[in-house]
Amino acid sequence: MSHHPLRLLLEFDDRIQRDREQAPAFLHRRDRRFALDCEQQGIRPDAAAWLAHMQRLSGPGSASQANHKLELQWQRIQRGFIAAGALFGTMAMAGLLFYDGGQRINITVFLAFVLLQLLLAAATTVQAVAGWQPWGWLQRRLQPQLPGQTLAQLQPLLMARAAHAGGTAFATTGLLTLLVLLVIQDLAFGWSTTLDTAAGGYHTLVQALATPWGWLWPAAVPSQELVEATRFFRAAPDSPGTAPAQWGQWWPFVVMLWLTWVLVPRLVLLASSHWQITHKAGQLLQQHPGMQALAWRMETPTLDTGNQHNDADDLPDTTTRARTVELADTDHIVCWAGAGEPELPQQLLGNQTQILKAGGRASLEDDDQVLATLAQALAESPNPSVMVVTRSWEPPTGELHDFLDHAREQWPENTRVLVLPLAPDANQAPPEQLIQPWLRFTERLPAGFAYVTVLPSLPDNPYQTGTERP
């Protein structure tokens, strides 16, 4: 179990969402038992230990794929920013240092560009801290599905981290391009401005900017003589009093200026964004409503008074308002997480039945392909319906809930989903106590979207049909 606060928060939130399908009494007994076990072992019952315990109870393959998909989405977003930043950093530096021998590279333009980078970095950090989302339009294009309430509070920080990662790549490739051009070209630097600025004032400005590295590399601090000798004017760009050898003496200052005021701030802000995400995720985890409910269940003893029949062998009352519906014919069947293997009951199959597999060992890309295939087929049907075949002895999972949520967004509005839990013996109807969790599961879906149906039981002996064999 990962102890990274962000992943811990997402996994905890997903587990709490899935626990809503369980009875409160069951949750209380389960979590109180966990707290007592931790007390005996001398372990502090925190969120990480609780999630590891829940994963052991659920078994392998029970982890939700939604969090993994979310992490992959943000990794792709961050990699996209890094790739774009690396490309634009190379192009920007090549443009700033373009020199054809007729006009010197203006240090004033370089200073203005460095100031622009500082302003962009500061604006990115401010919007993240304040919770603004100027990248909202880009997020909606990259993440069509709206984030949950927990993730929505982290979206500005996550996007700021991606932007700082792109800015760091921009600054890094820009510095590398600068070093390469210094080696392969003879660059000539100078300074000029339309304003009436004296050389002494300009020297004071560049000396202030060079303060952070002046003690480390004195040669990277332009002298008064260099500033006076490398000023150029529109009317006389190549004045006779200017020594060409001094035009290249600005390069140490340019390198240190970019390194100190562009690359280092981006690295610091990128590390700060990592810390902010970790800190914010830890706060949200402690303030999560599910965390407060979990703490209450672990600290409060359970009191077993029996059920309404005063019989310890009876199960609690788990009946629901929902009822099963009659089995209806459909041309589209989705076998969820290996249900129906090795083969489906013959009474479900027709000449044009389309059988698809999703969930379980199938990847998220396979699930998306199934949704897209059915969306195209259902759009051409006047009465669209899909049957989702599951195993009755396996409880509904959050992964199936997410799958049906995505299906509702992509399939026609009047689509009817029939959830068919199969018994271990496919020719028999599953027991009532195995049907109840699926009825509660469909109750949590939008009304009129999903229903539970069961196969009618067939006789064990094919000759017990009321007729005698000739």
Of 289, 279, 275, give the one whose Cα is nearest residue 12.
289
Establish if 404 belongs to a structural domain. yes
Q: Which residue has the tokens 């706060």?
A: 283
Q: Are residues 231 and 102 in the same domain?
A: yes
Provide the number of structural domains found in the chain.
Answer: 2
The pTM score is 0.60
Looking at residue 380, which CATH number applies to its domain?
3.40.50
Of 426, 436, 435, give the one whose Cα is nearest residue 456.
426
- Output the DSSP codes for 426-467: TTSPPPHHHHHHHHHHHHTSPTTTEEEB-PPPPPSSTT-SS-
What is the rounded CA–CA span in Å between residue 375 and residue 368? 10
Q: What pLDDT sits at residue 465? A: 42
Establish if 55 belongs to a structural domain. no
Torsion (CA) 44, 46, 50, 52 in degrees, nearest 10: -90
Q: Are residues 336 and 236 in the same domain?
A: no
Q: What pLDDT sits at residue 114? A: 96
What is the rounded CA–CA span in Å between residue 11 and residue 66? 9
- Output the DSSP codes for 51-93: HHHHHHHH-TT-S-HHHHHHHHHHHHHHHHHHHHHHHHHHHHH
Q: What pLDDT sits at residue 73? A: 83
What is the rounded CA–CA span in Å between residue 239 and residue 229? 10
Q: Which domain holds residue 87?
A: 66-278
249: CB partners within 8 A, 6+ apart:
189, 222, 226, 230
Q: What pLDDT sits at residue 93? A: 95
Q: What pLDDT sits at residue 116? A: 96
Q: Are residues 75 and 171 in the same domain?
A: yes
Q: What pLDDT sits at residue 163? A: 93
Q: Are residues 134 and 229 in the same domain?
A: yes
Q: What pLDDT sits at residue 153? A: 81
Contact by Cβ (8 Å): 12, 285: yes
Establish if 285 belongs to a structural domain. no
What is the rounded CA–CA span in Å between residue 366 and residue 161? 30
- Is-cis flag, bond preceding 342, omega within 30? yes
Which tokens belong to 29?
């007994």
Q: What pLDDT sits at residue 145? A: 52
Q: Are residues 258 and 373 in the same domain?
A: no
Establish if 34 belongs to a structural domain. no
Q: Are residues 272 and 346 in the same domain?
A: no
Can you list the residues of the chain whose pLDDT is less than 50? 1, 235-237, 240-241, 306-312, 461-470
Q: What pLDDT sits at residue 320? A: 60
Establish if 194 belongs to a structural domain. yes
Q: Are residues 242 and 114 in the same domain?
A: yes
Q: Are residues 241 and 147 in the same domain?
A: yes
Q: What pLDDT sits at residue 61? A: 55
Establish if 383 belongs to a structural domain. yes
Q: What pLDDT sits at residue 231? A: 84
Q: Are residues 82 and 227 in the same domain?
A: yes
pLDDT in tens, 378-406: 888 888 889 998 988 888 888 888 889 88
